[in-house]
Amino acid sequence: MQKERDDKIESIKKSTTSSDDSPRVFALHKNFYQMRIDRMRNAEMARRNRQRLQDPSLFPSVPTGGL
């Protein structure tokens, strides 16, 4: 049992090392790209909202005029 598992591991290691060293081309699937864009957009919106809330001129001041 242990020997079979070790043999499989060794054969996998040998097959991966014997492959050519040419650069591999990966296709960036559209949904993964869109998820990445959405994550970056949400982070940017959160940063802008934090900056807006830090600005005291965002909130209206209480009227101080007497009646």
More confident residue, 67 or 18: 67
How far CA 60 is from CA of 12, 49, 50, 56, in Å, comes to 67, 17, 17, 9
- The Cβ-side half-sphere exposure at 38, using a 13 Å CA radius, reads 6
pTM of the model: 0.44
- Residue whose pair of structure tokens reads 């049992």 in the numeric block: 1
Alpha-carbon distance of 34 to 24, in angstroms, equals 22
- Residue whose pair of structure tokens reads 């060293």 in the numeric block: 21
- Residue whose pair of structure tokens reads 């993964």 in the numeric block: 32
Asked if 58 contacts 52 with a C-beta cutoff of 8 angstroms, the reply is yes
Instruction: Note the pLDDT tens digit of each residue in 11-63.
Output: 877 765 555 667 777 777 788 889 999 999 999 999 999 998 888 787 788 88
